Structure 1
Amino acid sequence: MAKLKLSDAAETMRQIYYDPAAAEVQVSLDIRGVQVYFLKNGTLVIPGTNEFSDWFEFNFDVFGTEGHGFEVAHGDSGAVWHAGFLEHAQTVFSFAKPLKPKFIIGHSLGAASAQIVGSSLRVPTVAFASPRTNRGEKRFSGAGWVLNICRVDDTVCHVPPPFMGFQHVGSVRWMMPDEANPGQDHRIHEYIDCMAMEQNAKRIESHWPR
């Protein structure tokens, strides 16, 4: 099975934010606040929140705008999802499925979506700065395809809070910076810097899947 080098995944994510032409995009989607890129090498890249409206459309929509509670966020697998993240992921899934990506990379809101899409398609997935997407203790087989890379001082990685019953999908590797800066170190270049630190290089995989 082909493996994705984590440092390459992080650099690809950085390119999508700062220099998308360098990432060799084959086709992309930008619709209703959802941005996703399919690269010529078969990698699907899902960036994070880049419009203020995204916070209201996706990030803050925990229970569903219809007000019916968690039942509006049931996925086909029977899992229960954060409603806004599921809505975002459904658009990405429709775009990604016919392309048959070899890898999926996501960051922030894109990492939330990547957890859902990657586990559904059973594609090796690396999610940076990922929030918790799944509610409840139900395990499903596709979760094993997903690796989350999180900083302990990144607020996004701790929401929605555990007392609401939410958890990450797949494996989680927590990185410790030399100096914690709670709530501020969320951008992908700050993740790249943290991954290069000796104490973190020892605790996270160099490639995914292992």
Structure 2
Amino acid sequence: MQQTAPRPRHFSMVREFQLADFFTLGNAACGVGAILLAMLFMASGERSQFFVAAALAPAAFLFDVLDGRIARARHQHSALGRELDSLSDVISFGMAPAALGFAAGLQGGWDAAALIYFVCCGVSRLARYNVTAETLAADASGKVKYFEGTPIPTSVVLTGILAWAAWQERLGERLWGGVLELGPWELHPLALLFVLSGSLMISKTLRIPKF
């Protein structure tokens, strides 16, 4: 008996996406765009590219808010959606602010360490949230009532600070706080804001209500 060849499963993964997942991908797209524009700024020096990169942070935040609200309104929570959300947040609120910080002039050795620490804290924060989300949810809705540590999207504050520095033409050697020589590497005090943000994200004692 001749066997029928299996039908190709083109775009099968896309068919599994819920409406909220496409908003989550919009979040990721904003983050990737910000990183690419930060690299373009470093190559060209055109501040308009830096401003657009910074503007993509609140756009990513809007997508992040909308995907959660749509998922709750449509009762379409899924493990896939949760993982998509975390991976998108790493790009938009972890890597993108770090790339903007580097493009802005945080390029000393200690600066790089601060940016790496910040991203690693963000990744750790999201991993912990995914593991503990079910425990922290207080009712059948599955909605978490509070965050342990600051949510990673709070890094839009850092992006805003960098955008303001660009507006004031305080990038590169003119960064606020100047530069310090500490041992073999340089440190721009502005990089300590990334250390503070990362430390707040991984805090277990800081609890923030989720609205």
Structure number with higher helix proportion: 2
The TM-score, its normalising length taken from structure 1, stands at 0.26
Structure number with higher strand proportion: 1
Which has the larger Rg? 2
The TM-score, its normalising length taken from structure 2, stands at 0.26
Higher relative contact order (CA 8 A, sep 6+): 2
